[in-house]
């Protein structure tokens, strides 16, 4: 594993904009060189920081005759600095300079940093190029990109060395960049549209049609009507390029109502941001709701632009086909409440033995208050979406690392570790992976070769990029989700109940092996994880462990087992503990050390238990468990308390805990699969303030009083119980009842309608179980099947009709056929289950029936050696010709298995 880089100075928050003036970014301007010096004619503004002295020297020069000698240093931050404020307005830059050590100094390290103090704020020391190896043998380039937003009272690029007294030469420094638009005093331009005098800049998106209407209004007399919305993303849109700025949080408010007759729909406000050839879509955290045609509903949330843009649009989207009205839309600067001075999660949990305490983010969390929160509380990040196949390789062979690099820049600047997510997954993976032109790949060897090559190209493409970024091997990516969500929820025909994904359909189980082997080849330093949701569900846990055991048996290079832990607060925490213990046991049994990671922790306060299957539809599937959000928050606090108790019990194997989202407003549960405004799934509220969930982790004594218990017990799914009949009536089957647990009461024994040990008939019997907790909450019944099948029969039947296959008969005269038959094996030949019947297969129609009472047993040879019997068949032919029949003798043997014997007979009818 990589050495964790200790980045100098208390505040290394390079990308955080300070409070104060933030300018709207300009449309992409050509980069210009704002500073360039070879120190040929002087020090060009460079000065000695601290005790350091700088002077033009001709002892060394990379180009020309001279360079800058830096001497007299006595602390690591001493060195050569430059006041860049006059020529570096807020924007994006590349800073570079060349360094060489004096002859005889051997090798050492030099860093390039920027000391930056936001107006009215505290200084931070941003890293541009960190501890680059330099020597006396040649010139080494230090360079990196640097970006900042907002007004500053200090902006000082400088070269320093962790070796406090090392002298060095500096030459050929350039600063090239693209300044943000000229700063206006104040803040970003607010937006307010009420449609009273027209569309006020709004227009249609996609096929949608928009018009001003006076048929309804939230205020005044007009609103905007959006119709013809053929897809979710279509609706009204407005340019907000001038209303956003990097690091400036805005509050967005939209009033919405469905058009008459449209029922209800999930609507949300989103931002499209464009930069060069890149387009990103982001929901405005908090701005989603279920909207009806009965009343105006407010969508309100906050949004922080995380990266420079050429342009941005605000739009309102939601369930396709629904026509809706919007009114009184505002975008206005939002003063976020400062981050609280509370214990940092990473300190509290770090002291309890958790190596990595992380959070899922995207670029919005690399700026502003959110970035402060990330760096205070978390020591690791997971790219929430920016490492997924659809983002990294949207079309075959075209890799796009813009978004991922932004997060890596942030990680580098702040000394944060990165958990890579995800190399192979069925979701958020472009369709081209599994197609050959218009054709779906099959499991043919040729198609398998195509998909294998793509898997390798994808993993190698990412690795090449990372290796180029970190030639010294100090990538912040400490782990990867190699495969994600490969186990299905419930039973299927695949080994280990594997998900029937396109990966599985083409490559089978082997795709998992292949992905790990490739990840191991291209990311030899990273810890390689398998990852899934619902791993705490007893049935899925068994399948998951079963697959991991097979991987170990096949010597697949797997290092760890990930548990997403997208749970709800009625899911018993003991189940999570049982899964962690299960992996520990597997590790002990197989002798293979396995790390564990909680990879995507969030806790839903919905009643339902719908997990995190992203392939489910978008229809509303959830409803709030508590009417009062404060009650839900309090109950969540207790759940987080109990969950972390469980985690602590397993801190030896648990290497990492990652929360899925920086705040409740930014949690995916708010919009997935439909608007869920009540959800409070993370330890921080919409305004980044701590919640009871936070105190549940850090100090449960500060939890509010616990509300009434409204959560019923949970009855886990159970695989069918299989049994073999021991007689014709079935079998007595004993079973263990389905695992049943309750968040507040712990384990519960359910009551089932057919008891264990009862006689189950041959066939499938569904057992229904119920459970009630102490508060009287009744579980949704759990059902499982008991399937009783007879054993393979050892009984043989035989028969013969009239000593031969052809029987002579005369038309209009009754013909009698004698069937002699017998049984070798177990069972009574002429018992209750005996049946005999003939079906005509050819010839003129004629009936052939068993003569009533004709069946009788012959001889006295009896069971078990065998029995013989005969019956008489009777028919009256009406036509001349041949008539053919298949005659079947059947019975059930002593253990309930059906046995049959069929013989053909032809009746030749003459005059």
Enumerate the active-site residues: 485, 600
Quote the tokens at residue 775: 């508060």
Residue placing its CB nearer to ligand XIL in the complex, 15 or 530:
530
Residue placing its CB nearer to ligand XIL in the complex, 478 or 821:
478
Q: Which of 612, 797, 897, 899 binds ligand XIL (CB under 6 A)?
A: 612
Least Å distance, CB 612 to ligand XIL, is: 4
Q: Could you say whether residue 202 binds ligand XIL (CB under 6 A)?
A: no
C-alpha 313/C-alpha 231 separation (Å) is 18
Least Å distance, CB 704 to ligand XIL, is: 28
Q: Which of 195, 504, 529, 668 binds ligand XIL (CB under 6 A)?
A: 668
Least Å distance, CB 353 to ligand XIL, is: 25
Q: Could you say whether residue 564 binds ligand XIL (CB under 6 A)?
A: yes
Residue placing its CB nearer to ligand XIL in the complex, 533 or 544:
533
Residue placing its CB nearer to ligand XIL in the complex, 385 or 882:
385
Residue placing its CB nearer to ligand XIL in the complex, 384 or 543:
384
Residue of this chain nearest to ligand XIL (CB atom): 668
x-marked contacts with ligand XIL along 429-468 as a string, rule CB under 6 A: ----------------------------------------
x-marked contacts with ligand XIL along 501-540 as a string, rule CB under 6 A: --------------------------------x-------
Q: Whose CA is closest to 675, among 291, 251, 255, 164?
A: 291
C-alpha 588/C-alpha 586 separation (Å) is 5
Least Å distance, CB 403 to ligand XIL, is: 12
* Cis amide linkage into residue 422, ω under 30° from 0: yes
Residue placing its CB nearer to ligand XIL in the complex, 639 or 668:
668
Burial 771-799 (b: 16+ CB within 10 A, else e): bbbeeebebeebebebbbbbeebebebeb
Quote the tokens at residue 769: 């179980």
**Cβ atoms of residues 682 and 667 within 8 Å:** yes
Burial 539-577 (b: 16+ CB within 10 A, else e): bbbbbbbbbbeebbeeebebbbbbbbbbbbbbbbbbbbb
Least Å distance, CB 220 to ligand XIL, is: 36
191 forms beta bridges with 331
Least Å distance, CB 549 to ligand XIL, is: 23
C-alpha 269/C-alpha 411 separation (Å) is 29
Please state, as a whole number, how many other Cβ atoms lie within 10 Å of the Cβ of residue 406.
20
Q: Which of 336, 384, 514, 559 binds ligand XIL (CB under 6 A)?
A: 384
Q: Report how many residues bind ligand XIL under the rule CB under 6 A.
A: 9
Residue placing its CB nearer to ligand XIL in the complex, 269 or 895:
269
Residue placing its CB nearer to ligand XIL in the complex, 80 or 477:
477
Alpha helices in 29-95 (DSSP H): none
Q: Could you say whether residue 802 binds ligand XIL (CB under 6 A)?
A: no
Least Å distance, CB 531 to ligand XIL, is: 7
CA 579 to chain CA centroid, Å, is 19
Residue placing its CB nearer to ligand XIL in the complex, 167 or 613:
613
Angle between helices 629-649 and 573-590 (to 10 degrees): 20
DSSP string, 616-633: S-SS----BS-SSHHHHH
Residue placing its CB nearer to ligand XIL in the complex, 17 or 373:
373
Residue placing its CB nearer to ligand XIL in the complex, 375 or 429:
429
E strands, 548-707, where?
A: 560-563, 566-568, 595-604, 654-659
Q: Could you say whether residue 497 binds ligand XIL (CB under 6 A)?
A: no
Least Å distance, CB 892 to ligand XIL, is: 51
Least Å distance, CB 427 to ligand XIL, is: 7
| Backbone phi, psi, residue 11, to 5° | -105, 105
Least Å distance, CB 314 to ligand XIL, is: 19
Q: Which of 513, 514, 543, 600 binds ligand XIL (CB under 6 A)?
A: 600
**Cβ atoms of residues 760 and 754 within 8 Å:** yes
Contacts (Cβ under 8 Å, ≥6 apart) of 235: 204, 205, 206, 208, 210, 226, 229, 315, 316, 317, 318, 324
C-alpha 737/C-alpha 746 separation (Å) is 16
Q: Could you say whether residue 60 binds ligand XIL (CB under 6 A)?
A: no
Q: Could you say whether residue 614 binds ligand XIL (CB under 6 A)?
A: yes
Q: Which residue has the tokens 């040990």?
A: 757
**Cβ atoms of residues 48 and 54 within 8 Å:** yes
| Backbone phi, psi, residue 569, to 5° | -80, 5
Q: Could you say whether residue 232 binds ligand XIL (CB under 6 A)?
A: no
| Backbone phi, psi, residue 463, to 5° | -65, -40
Contacts (Cβ under 8 Å, ≥6 apart) of 735: 721, 756, 767, 784, 786
Q: Could you say whether residue 385 binds ligand XIL (CB under 6 A)?
A: yes
Residue 787: HSE in the Cβ half-sphere, 13 Å Cα cutoff = 8
| Backbone phi, psi, residue 242, to 5° | -85, -5
**Cβ atoms of residues 382 and 419 within 8 Å:** yes
Burial 724-757 (b: 16+ CB within 10 A, else e): bbbebebbebebebbbbbbbbbeebebebebeee
Q: Whose CA is closest to 796, among 903, 900, 904?
A: 900
x-marked contacts with ligand XIL along 161-200 as a string, rule CB under 6 A: ----------------------------------------
Least Å distance, CB 387 to ligand XIL, is: 9
Least Å distance, CB 668 to ligand XIL, is: 3
Residue placing its CB nearer to ligand XIL in the complex, 174 or 484:
484
Q: Could you say whether residue 484 binds ligand XIL (CB under 6 A)?
A: yes
State the residues that interact with ligand XIL by CB under 6 A.
384-385, 484, 533, 564, 600, 612, 614, 668
């Amino acid at each position: 594993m990589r050495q964790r880089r200790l980045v100098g100075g208390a505040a290394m928050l390079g990308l955080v904009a300070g409070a104060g003036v933030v300018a709207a970014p300009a449309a992409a301007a050509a980069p210009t060189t704002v500073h360039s010096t070879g120190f040929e004619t002087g020090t060009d503004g460079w000065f000695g920081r601290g005790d350091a002295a700088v002077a033009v020297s001709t002892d060394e020069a990379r180009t020309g005759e001279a360079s800058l000698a830096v001497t007299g240093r006595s602390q690591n931050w001493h060195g050569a600095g430059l006041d860049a404020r006059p020529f570096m307005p807020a924007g994006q830059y590349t800073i570079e300079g060349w360094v060489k050590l004096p002859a005889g100094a051997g090798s050492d390290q030099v860093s390039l940093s920027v000391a930056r103090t936001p107006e009215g704020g505290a200084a931070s020391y941003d890293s541009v190029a960190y501890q680059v190896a330099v020597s006396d043998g040649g010139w080494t380039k230090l360079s990196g990109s640097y970006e900042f937003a907002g007004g500053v009272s200090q902006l000082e690029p400088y070269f320093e060395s962790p070796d406090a007294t090392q002298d060095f030469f500096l030459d050929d420094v350039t600063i090239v960049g693209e300044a943000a638009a000229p700063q206006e005093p104040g803040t970003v331009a607010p937006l307010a549209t009420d449609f009273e005098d027209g569309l006020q800049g709004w227009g249609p998106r996609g096929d949608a049609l928009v018009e001003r209407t006076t048929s309804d209004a939230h205020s005044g007399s007009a609103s905007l009507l959006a119709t013809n919305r053929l897809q979710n993303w279509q609706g009204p849109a407005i340019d907000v390029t001038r209303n956003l700025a990097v690091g400036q949080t805005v509050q967005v408010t939209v009033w919405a109502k469905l058009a008459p007759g449209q029922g209800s729909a999930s609507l949300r406000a989103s931002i499209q941001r464009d930069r060069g050839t890149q387009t990103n879509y982001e929901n405005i955290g908090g701005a989603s709701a279920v909207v009806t045609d009965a009343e105006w509903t407010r969508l309100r949330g906050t949004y922080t632009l995380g990266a420079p843009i050429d342009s941005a649009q605000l739009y309102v989207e939601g369930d396709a086909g629904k026509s809706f009205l919007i009114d009184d839309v505002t975008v206005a600067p939002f003063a976020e409440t400062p981050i609280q001075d509370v214990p940092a999660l990473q300190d509290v949990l770090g002291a309890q033995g958790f190596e990595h305490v992380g959070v899922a983010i995207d670029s919005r969390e690399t700026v502003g208050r959110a970035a402060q929160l990330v760096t205070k509380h978390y020591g690791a990040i997971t790219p929430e979406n920016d490492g997924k196949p659809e983002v990294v390789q949207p079309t075959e062979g075209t890799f796009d690392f813009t978004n991922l690099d932004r997060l890596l820049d942030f990680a580098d600047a702040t000394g944060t570790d990165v958990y890579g997510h995800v190399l192979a997954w069925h979701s958020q993976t472009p369709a081209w992976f599994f197609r050959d032109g218009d054709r779906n790949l099959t499991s043919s060897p040729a198609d398998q070769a195509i998909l294998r090559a793509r898997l390798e190209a994808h993993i190698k493409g990412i690795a090449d990029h990372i290796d180029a970024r970190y030639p010294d091997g100090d990538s912040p990516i400490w782990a990867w989700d190699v495969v994600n969500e490969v186990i299905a929820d419930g039973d299927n025909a695949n080994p280990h109940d594997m998900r029937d994904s396109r990966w599985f359909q083409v490559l089978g189980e082997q795709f998992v092996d292949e992905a790990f082997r490739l990840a191991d080849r291209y990311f030899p330093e990273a810890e390689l994880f398998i990852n899934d949701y619902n791993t705490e569900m007893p049935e899925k846990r068994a399948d998951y462990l079963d697959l991991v055991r097979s991987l170990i048996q096949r010597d697949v290079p797997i290092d760890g087992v990930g548990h997403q832990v997208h749970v709800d607060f009625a899911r018993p925490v003991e189940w999570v503990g049982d899964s962690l213990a299960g992996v520990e046991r597997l590790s002990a049994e197989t002798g293979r050390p396995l790390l564990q990671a909680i990879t995507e922790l969030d806790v839903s306060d919905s009643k339902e238990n719908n997990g995190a299957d992203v392939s489910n539809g978008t229809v509303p599937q959830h409803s709030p468990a508590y009417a009062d959000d404060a009650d839900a928050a309090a109950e969540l606090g207790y759940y987080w308390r109990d969950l972390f108790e469980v985690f602590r019990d397993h801190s030896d194997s648990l290497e990492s805990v990652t929360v899925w989202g920086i705040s409740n407003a930014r949690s995916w549960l708010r919009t997935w699969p439909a608007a869920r405004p009540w959800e409070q799934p993370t330890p921080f509220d919409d305004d980044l303030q701590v919640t009871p969930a936070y105190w549940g982790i850090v100090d449960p004594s500060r939890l509010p009083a616990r509300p009434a218990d409204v959560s019923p017990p949970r009855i886990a799914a159970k695989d069918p119980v299989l049994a073999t009949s021991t007689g014709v009536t079935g079998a007595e089957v004993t079973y263990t009842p389905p695992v049943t647990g309750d968040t507040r009461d712990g384990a519960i024994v359910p009551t089932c309608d057919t008891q264990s040990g009862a006689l189950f008939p041959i066939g499938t019997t569904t057992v229904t179980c119920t459970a009630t907790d102490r508060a009287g909450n009744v579980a949704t019944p759990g059902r499982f099947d008991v399937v009783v099948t007879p054993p393979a029969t050892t009984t043989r039947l035989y028969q013969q009709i009239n000593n031969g296959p052809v029987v002579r008969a005369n038309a209009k005269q009754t013909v009698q056929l004698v069937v002699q038959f017998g049984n070798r094996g177990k069972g009574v030949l002429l018992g209750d289950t005996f049946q005999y019947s003939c079906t005509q297969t050819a010839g003129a129609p004629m009936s052939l029936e068993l003569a009533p009472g004709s069946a009788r047993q012959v001889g006295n040879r009896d069971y078990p050696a065998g029995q013989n019997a005969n019956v008489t068949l009777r028919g009256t032919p009406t036509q001349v010709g041949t008539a053919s029949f298949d005659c079947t003798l059947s019975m059930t043997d002593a253990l309930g298995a059906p046995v049959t014997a069929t013989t053909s007979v032809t009746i030749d009818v003459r005059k």
